[in-house]
Amino acid sequence: PFDVLIVGGGPAGAAAAVYAARKGIRTGVAAERFGGQVLDTLGIENYISIKETDGAKFAVALEEHVKAYDVDIMNMQRAEALKVEGDLVEVTLASGATLKSKSVILATGARWRDMNVPGEAEYRTKGVTYCPHCDGPLFKGKKVAVIGGGNSGVEAAIDLAGVVDHVTLLEFDSQLRADAVLQRKLHSLPNVKVLVNAQTTEVKGDGSKVVGLAYKDRKTGELHSIDLSGVFVQIGLVPNTAWLKGSGVELSPRGEIIVNTHGQTSVPGVYAAGDVTTVPYKQIVIAVGQGATAALGAFDHLIRTSAP
């Protein structure tokens, strides 16, 4: 068996692999797509010590760093179930194989919920974006929309209002769902317009970038369009935890894996890191730190529980 088996090969999984391997213990990584969300990212400008890079380069660097150690990388392997059998944790892959390990680190990340309207997929990273912390500065002096009036949408609109020329926030429902204090702040900003009962129906582009969006007023049925350069979709982040159903690993109401400050889950020997967990602020630098924490947590568990 492995000493540490990591499920997921994004920033969190890669950091966990490096930290575990450096302890000289038997380490494996099973990942559906090594690199994770970083592979879908254009520019990265907030990973401290690297002023500017792009997602593809960053993913290659992650893999090269892991490969510098004796780590068994199993790429394009999807985990489908986890269970504890005696002293070992078993992870079953879609291929039918079962991997056994004394400890497991779950780092399966998350994905942004999308609107599913024409133009959204086509203009992703060409004006359609999901991350104000990452891409806000790219729209300096321009007009943007934020889709979603929950906490993350309203926070994004407040954040962006300080960076871009103008923000239009569109909420499907008849009212915003964000905390009152956020809504007050939002309404105090001169360069933000809020539209409720607004159903986005299309992202419009010129073939290479976003130029606007269309929405339907759900009260009157009228169609409208807005000229803008960026659309920030903030309608939820979905953690990749469906495969853990029945495993005993405790999830929050949003489906995130509940971890303590050591990265420990509710199942002894099972740790978690990155966007898949309850830890707030889903960012690379945070996922990497959590990956290190989970690996050190798992190592602590091993030296307390397994024979030398």
| CB 101 to ligand FAD: min, Å | 14
Q: 3-state DSSP call for residue 43? A: strand
Shortest approach of ligand FAD to residue 116 CB, angstroms? 16
User: How many CB atoms within 10 Å of residue 4?
Assistant: 29
Angle ∠(161,42,147) on CA atoms, nearest 5: 40
Cα distances (angstroms) measured from residue 191 to each of 128, 143, 177, 184, 288: 20, 10, 20, 14, 35
Which residues inside 264-283 make contact with ligand FAD, applying CB under 6 A? 274-276, 282-283
Report in angstroms how near the CB of residue 129 gets to ligand FAD at its nearest: 6
Per-residue x/- mask for ligand FAD, residues 139 to 168, rule CB under 6 A? ------------------------------
**Member of 144, 156, 176, 284 binding ligand FAD (CB under 6 A):** 284
> Which of 2, 4, 6, 8 forms a contact with ligand FAD (CB under 6 A)?
8
The owner of tokens 């979603």 is: 148
> Partners of 81 in the beta sheet?
92
Q: How far is the CB of 280 from ligand FAD (least distance, A)?
A: 11
Q: Which of residues 29-48 bind ligand FAD (CB under 6 A)?
A: 30-34, 36-38, 40-41, 44, 46
Instruction: For the CB of residue 302, give the shortest distance to ligand FAD in the complex, in Å.
Output: 22
Axis-axis angle for helices 55-67, 11-21 (nearest 10):
20
Number of residues near ligand FAD (by CB under 6 A) = 39
Q: Which of 134, 138, 163, 296 binds ligand FAD (CB under 6 A)?
A: 134
CA 163 and chain centroid, separation: 23
Nearer to ligand FAD, 230 or 274 (CB): 274
Cα–Cα dist 128/39, whole Å: 16
